[in-house]
Amino acid sequence: MDTIECIRTRMSIRKFKPEPVSEEMLLKVIETAQCSPSYKNSQPWEVAIVSGEKKDALSKILIDLLERGVKPAPDLPEPGVWPAELDKRIRDLLKRRSEKFGIDLSNPDLIKKAKTANFRFYGAPHAVFLFQDSSLSPWSILDMGMFAQSLMLTAHAMGLGTVPQAFLTDYSKEVKSFLQVDDSKRLILGISIGYPDLEDKANSFKSTRIDTKEILRWVK
Ligand SMILES: Cc1cc2nc3c(=O)[nH]c(=O)nc-3n(C[C@H](O)[C@H](O)[C@H](O)COP(=O)(O)O)c2cc1C
């Protein structure tokens, strides 16, 4: 697959096959993501990959925190009020997903269910957590986005599936403590990774994009 096809066909995977991915393949994904550009080539990314029993134990911790109603405390603040046009895109996504799966995704009980599925890593055999030093500026967060996209595209090109998950940063302190990552680091993103179960209905949903005309200004 060429680069353009890779970018166009990548999608968030929300059901994985249980088979683990070899360490060699996971290493290749991370090594390739390291080729991403970064501010002054500072390469501010740090990565933890959790698998097997450890992943299951972390899943239990996150679900327990959710069940006990512990308030999320991500290192990066949750988005507040969205500008109207972006809010509309979010609502459209929820509406399309609700229609597709025959459920009302704006129902608060279902939000808890959705978080639980996130905390189970959608059945993925591995979860990747991305960190960086908390003292870094927003420019370095931009670098993390580049790294994350390179990681997901490389995985896709290798026949793997991924999903970026802000929810996996809800309990950043606990995640860092479990992964033995210093609390001076900020947890940026969690990404579940594994072989995609493309037969499952969860992966039959394809998100859309707004018309390019809405975001592009030609100045001639
Ligand atoms: C920063 C970020 C955070 C996200 N957090 C979540 C999440 O917590 N759970 C989830 O299922 N999807 C999450 N997503 C996936 C988005 O919903 C998804 O990328 C978007 O709907 C577009 O769909 P696509 O990835 O299939 O193209 C996140 C995506 C990004 C970039």
Task: Please check the confidence at residue 105 and state whether its pLDDT lies above 80.
Answer: no
Helix (H, G, I), strand (E, B) or coil at 6: helix
Predicted structure pTM score: 0.96
**Spatial contact of 208 and 89, defined as CB atoms under 8 Å apart:** no
Residue 205 CB–ligand 1 contact under 6 Å: no
Residue whose Cα lies nearest atom 17 of ligand 1: it is: 12
69, part of any domain: yes
84, part of any domain: no
* Per-residue pLDDT, 98: 85
Report the alpha-carbon distance of residue 18 to residue 132 in Å, rounded.
Answer: 29
Q: Quickly state the pLDDT bin for 119 (edges 50, 70, 90).
A: very high
Report the alpha-carbon distance of residue 147 to residue 44 in Å, rounded.
Answer: 10
* CATH number, residue 54: 3.40.109.10
Report the alpha-carbon distance of residue 163 to residue 147 in Å, rounded.
Answer: 14
* Per-residue pLDDT, 206: 93
* Per-residue pLDDT, 104: 76
Q: Quickly state the pLDDT bin for 101 (edges 50, 70, 90).
A: confident
Residue 192 CB–ligand 1 contact under 6 Å: no
134, part of any domain: yes
Closest CA to 162 of 21, 1, 4: 21
Residue with tokens 């009980």: 109
Pocket test for ligand 1, best of 89, 120, 150, 163 (most atoms within 8 A of CB): 163
User: How many domains is the chain built from?
Assistant: 1
150, part of any domain: yes
Residue 167 CB–ligand 1 contact under 6 Å: yes
Q: Which helix (H) or strand (E) holds 160?
A: none
Residue 150 CB–ligand 1 contact under 6 Å: no
Domain that holds residue 72: 3-79+119-206
Q: What is the per-residue pLDDT across 14-58, written as a single tens digit (0 to 9) for each?
A: 999 999 999 999 999 999 999 999 999 999 999 999 999 999 999
